């Protein structure tokens, strides 16, 4: 994407009332005003709150918001020019149950209060296979502890990935640390049984992997 196009999207993001772009200082100093108040101040209801981490263009957040008008969704990514797509679609369709937050997932516990979140989706994260990149892997032990903090006690996690490595790594870690694997499927479009919502919505990256006939995997779990 050209820098002119990016600039245009950044400017448009700033006009959308469903886009939140707190500064790093605001976030780390715990002065981001929506922390603990997403439902009260923004969604203005007490519906369950669902996050999509590394949402990219936001297909899952918008798709889920369409399917579940009784739940609230927030797509989170560090790249605002990407989620501009989802934010604009939501504005154009008058959707009030989906928002976008530009921040680093590493800072997630500063953006949501303890127990504020009901469910989290991680869609096609970078597997970060190299040893030096392990700390950036979005299902490593440190990330799971961050998610646990903001999730309700029975909060549910969902991981969808094309990466066999990421799928295997996460399953191994979940077993090793004694978390609860609710459901796992290593090829959701070929092996029946995945919840319908798993195969009903495709993200941008997913569509490309499906064209290459790659298997799409899914794990649903609870962090203990």
Q: Is 139 helix (H, G, I), strand (E, B) or coil?
A: coil
φ, ψ for residue 200, nearest 5 deg:
-85, -25
Instruction: Give the C-alpha separation, 41 to 34, whole Å.
Output: 7
Cα(first)–Cα(last) distance of the chain, in Å?
41
Judged by beta carbon, residue 79 or residue 152, the one nearer ligand SAM is 79
110 binds ligand SAM per the rule CB under 6 A: no
Q: Is 126 a catalytic residue?
A: yes
Any known ligand binding at 40? no
Q: Which of 45, 93, 104, 141 contacts ligand SAM by CB under 6 A?
A: 104
126 binds ligand SAM per the rule CB under 6 A: yes
- Ordered alpha helix ranges (H), the chain: 3-15, 24-28, 59-67, 80-92, 108-111, 141-150, 164-177, 196-200, 204-211
How many residues make contact with ligand SAM (CB under 6 A)?
A: 18
Q: 149-208: which residues touch ligand SAM (CB under 6 A)? A: 203-206
The least CB distance from residue 194 to ligand SAM, in Å, is: 17
Q: Which of 101, 147, 140, 82 shows the shortest CA–CA distance to 121?
A: 147
Judged by beta carbon, residue 18 or residue 46, the one nearer ligand SAM is 18
Q: Which residues are catalytic?
A: 126
Residue numbers belonging to the annotated binding site for substrate: 130, 162, 203-206
Residue numbers of the site for ligand SAM (CB under 6 A)?
A: 54-56, 77-79, 82, 104-106, 123-126, 203-206
């Amino acid at each position: 994407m050209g820098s002119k196009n990016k600039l245009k999207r950044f400017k448009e993001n700033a006009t959308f009332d469903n886009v939140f772009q707190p500064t790093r200082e605001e976030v780390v100093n715990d002065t981001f005003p929506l922390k603990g108040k997403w439902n009260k101040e923004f969604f203005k209801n007490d519906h369950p709150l669902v996050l999509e981490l590394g949402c990219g263009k936001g297909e899952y957040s918008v798709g889920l918001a369409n399917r579940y008008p009784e739940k609230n969704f927030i797509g989170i990514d560090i790249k605002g020019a990407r989620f501009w797509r989802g934010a604009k679609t939501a504005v154009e369709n008058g959707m009030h149950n989906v928002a976008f937050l530009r921040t680093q997932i590493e800072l997630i516990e500063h953006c949501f209060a303890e127990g504020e979140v009901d469910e989290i989706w991680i869609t096609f994260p970078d597997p970060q296979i190299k040893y030096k990149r392990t700390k950036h892997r979005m299902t490593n032990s440190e990330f799971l502890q961050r998610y646990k903090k903001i999730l309700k006690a029975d909060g549910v996690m969902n991981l969808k990935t094309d990466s066999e490595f990421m799928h295997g790594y996460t399953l191994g870690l979940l077993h090793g640390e004694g978390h609860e694997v609710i459901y796992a499927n290593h090829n959701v479009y070929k092996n029946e049984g995945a919840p319908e919502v798993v195969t009903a919505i495709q993200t941008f990256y997913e569509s490309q992997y499906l064209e290459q006939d790659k298997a799409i995997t899914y794990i649903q779990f609870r962090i203990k």
